[in-house]
Amino acid sequence: MPDAPLDDNPATGVPGDRVVATTARPGQAHFAADLDQTPVLDAVDAPDEGAAPTSLWKDAWIQMRGRVLFWVSAGLILLVVLVALFPQVFSQTDPRFCDLGRSVGAPRAGHWFGFDRQGCDVYARVIFGARASVTVGVLTTLGVTVVGVVVGSIAGYFGKWFDAVLSRITDIFFAIPLLLAAILVASVFSQHRTTLLVASVLAVFGWPQIARITRGAVLSVKNNEFVTAAQALGISRPGILVRHIVPNAIAPVIATATVALGTFIVAEATLSFLGVGLPPSVVSWGGDISRAQQVIRTSPQLLLFPGTALGLTVLSFIMMGDVVRDALDPKARTR
């Protein structure tokens, strides 16, 4: 039914109300005030022109700093990084100095974790072992991130035969088990095992996951309006990819890479445990865990200390990755 003319409403006493008749119930009518009588709506709907502009990263930081899990994981990561960079601050004992007369000795002043089977200070080896494990994890994460972002960005943005070829190459590497391939390659270069070699081997076979995530993020971003605007301004396709698409598609990659860093630390420890990772001359948690298994029944504490350090480090990066993923995922904020 068409709207009734504007008349004084005898029920409300407000002049100029619009009366709309309804047929739901007899005698019932709907009243709608004119726009000039609703200044509150204009004030509510008006944007705050003086407010500072926001961004995804600023919103993510606000989201993360309000969570206890973020501060706990950040504190653990900061401690691990400080130990890896400045181990001499935490222990002045040479981790390679061993005395068989102290074999499997009990803890005492200055040697808080006791001694291992060779008579080496366990506390010093746990402290100095952080450097090798964290270094391999960081180098591997950087390598897989660079390769994965490049491959995934090209495949997702250019499409066509670029996508077909790069996706099939990614599937081939994705089908190869990471640890099995790393063991095989590390065994071939057993005489030249270094931190850089172990990190390179893990990076060669660990990038497909990052590539897949990057490809999916680029596919979801490349059809946005700002990409169309950049094309209208005459920016080249590589320029659009580097300057506009990748920065807006990098959020899920960062979250995945944070979790992957802990995974690669475990992979290095596994290779060292199996004897194909870092050489015995390099102090690492995986090597100490491997040596501790020989006396695990009589001296389980030798396995406890490096295993706990490894577990806390990996747990801190996994927790940080979960926090970063939730903060950078807009859908997670509404759950």
Sorted by where each begins, the domain ranges of the chain are 1-40, 56-333
pTM: 0.78
Residue with tokens 């659009």: 240
β-partners of residue 120 are: 98
Query: Which residue from 204, 180, 205 is spatially nearest to 276, judged by alpha carbons?
Result: 180
- Residue 300: predicted pLDDT: 84
Architecture of domain 56-333: Orthogonal Bundle (1.10)
- Residue 316: predicted pLDDT: 93
- Residue 11: predicted pLDDT: 47
CB atoms within 10 A of CB 216: 14
Three-state secondary structure call for residue 137: helix
CA atoms in the 13 A half-sphere facing the CB of 288 = 33
Amino acid at 287: G
- Residue 311: predicted pLDDT: 92
Token code pair at residue 194 = 């270094």
- Residue 4: predicted pLDDT: 47
- Residue 14: predicted pLDDT: 47
- Residue 317: predicted pLDDT: 92
- Residue 163, CA distances (Å) to 143, 172, 210, 213 in order: 21, 14, 15, 14
pLDDT (tens digit, 0 to 9) for every residue of the chain, 335 residues total? Answer: 444 444 444 444 445 444 444 455 665 665 565 656 555 555 555 555 555 556 667 777 888 888 899 999 999 999 999 999 999 999 888 888 888 888 777 778 778 888 888 888 899 999 999 999 899 999 999 999 999 999 999 998 888 888 899 999 999 998 988 888 888 888 888 777 888 889 999 999 999 999 999 999 998 888 888 888 888 888 888 888 888 888 888 888 998 999 899 899 999 899 888 888 888 888 889 888 988 888 888 888 888 899 999 999 999 999 998 888 888 866 655 55
DSSP result, 171-207: HHHHTS-HHHHHHHHHHHTGGG--HHHHHHHHHHHH-
- Residue 36: predicted pLDDT: 60
Amino acid at 34: D
